[in-house]
Structure 1
């Protein structure tokens, strides 16, 4: 079975470059791993040609859908179960070439399941692959060789999945931290505004009381006091505009990366 089965070797803001590269690598590597199976069933003239191509497409599509979306949730665990059905149920009808699909199940178990379930399930898949290989005619050495081939191909695919998810989490965490900092700056700005307006309004009120107290005096005194009140009002207006500009800068600096 080791002769042909497996090669040896998330208007929305766009995701960051590292996340997009990770997801593109998952797609490219998944198609590369399944390409011999696609070629075989496309060239096969038997009745299972079309179902083989459809099921192979479903396997790749399911892995891409699960591996390129986050955060990890219950449906990812269900996706592992669906992948197991896609890998093992069609095997008696599609034959030995269909065995390559086990790479995606092993990569799903290792890359999508949470700890501590990922390693035990991965080992279970490896054991199942050994018995599957032997049931298809290989001896123990051939079965172990096939299991090693599946594991070697699945580990890089799971690693790419981990990379894409880690990059997404890092950028999402950075966005949340930036949002917290913006909120803290707004709190400080509101406290500053309260102090500014409070002191200025108190000064204007005191000046108004002095004007009222001296209204019976000379008109020059009244004009002088009213002029001071006007200056205070203009100064308060300038400070309010400065505060508004700072708020606009805070809003423009808000992170917009979407998960």
Structure 2
């Protein structure tokens, strides 16, 4: 639409010039010359007003501007003031193609030069001022409409790029959440299923209990996947600690968990819960740990989650071509909530993962801090 308006304005000025030339009291040869030259001037102006014209090489700009200047001033010798409106095209082209320190003085020179046709015609000075004003205003209109068209073009391109980036971010979010959810859930189902297979001959009652837990994990996984697809998924760190304890106990891993948390925001809670889930998934898949410590503490405006285990294997490499994105996902999550993530092997040979996130207490609210200490394979105290 903006481009159409610009072309319509340029055609309107050309039509106005054509009618002025045809009604002028000049010879037929002069009129024919004006009619033949006018389309060339219009084409040059369309080229100068085309998108990206300001980025053309300088020598081409000077060439086309020089031709337009010749076609603007030479016909004045025959057509006089009837041709003066064409100077508005030249004024606009100068503003479009040349740097501002050069363009604006030349723009003013073009306007002042339109005083000459009135002098040649022997007309009052006020007519020359009117022609100069018309040339300057026409140049501004041409310049403004062209720049507006370019701006709208860039705006549409930017909107398209933003839409593509939004789609890419949503795909990344979905892939990250799906990895975090299904990696944990499938590991849990596999581990529980292996435990059930061992328990069926000697402990059928406990095996049935584990089957019920597997069904619960599968149902929760389905609900989580649906939440991921809809874009809403809140998780609880304390709930994830209980789930992790159950899984690690089933794997025969000695667990000690300590939780001292107050009221934390849902996005921080979800980020830390996801971190714990990925840490436990990696522990079950990539280590042979016999002990695991989980510590979640809120102190000095920070929430710290520490997960340690003694089964780190420095020689392990994931053979899957699609593996290894878990820690990268966690780094992205921690960064998104203003936190940090550290992981690596300690001096005592244990593997330690630390997630630290700033948290602000709700205004005028004192957080009720609860302390839960899980002794090894014991009940909460």
Q: Smaller-chain TM-score range? A: 0.5 to 0.7
Which is bigger in relative contact order (C-alpha 8 A, separation at least 6)?
Answer: 1
- Tell me how far apart the structure 2 counterparts of residues 213 and 89 of structure 1 sit (CA, whole Å): 101
Choose between structure 1 and 2: higher helix proportion: 1
TM-score computed with the length of structure 1 as normaliser: 0.63
Q: Which whole-Å CA distance do the structure 2 matches of 1:60 and 1:71 have between them?
A: 15
What's 2:95 paired with?
110
Distance of 1:84 and 1:107 partners within structure 2: 12
C-alpha contact (below 8 Å) 2:185/2:217 kept by paired residues: yes
Structure 1 counterpart of 2:8: 28
Which of 127, 148, 167 is matched with 1:163 structurally?
148
CA RMSD, 1 decimal = 4.0
What SS does the corresponding residue of 2:202 show, helix, strand or coil?
coil
Kindly state the Cα deviation for residue 106 of structure 1 after the two structures are TM-superposed. Answer: 0.7
- TM-superposed CA distance for 1:204, in Å, is 1.4
* 1:26–1:64 Cα contact (<8 Å) kept: no
Shift of 1:104: 0.6
Distance 1:92 1:45 in 2: 12
Q: 1:71 to 1:92 in 2, by over 3 A?
A: closer
Q: 1:58 to 1:244 in 2, by over 3 A?
A: farther
Distance 1:223 1:55, change over 3 A: farther
With normalisation by structure 2, the TM-score equals: 0.46
Rounded to whole Å, the distance in 2 between the matches of 1:140 and 1:49 is 25
- Among 203, 210, 219, the alignment partner of 2:188 is 203
In the alignment of these two chains, the number of paired residues is 226
Structure 1 residues 235, 144: CA separation in 2 closer, same or farther (over 3 Å shift)?
same
Provide, for residues 25-80 of structure 1, a one-character-per-residue CA deviation record: whole Å limited to 9, x for no partner. 32232222221332366689845666643432232233334435358422697254
Structure 1 residue runs of 5 or longer lacking an equivalent are: 1-19, 247-259
Please identify which structure carries the higher strand content: 2
User: Which residues of structure 2 form unaligned runs of 5+?
Assistant: 232-381
State the 1:240 CA deviation: 4.5
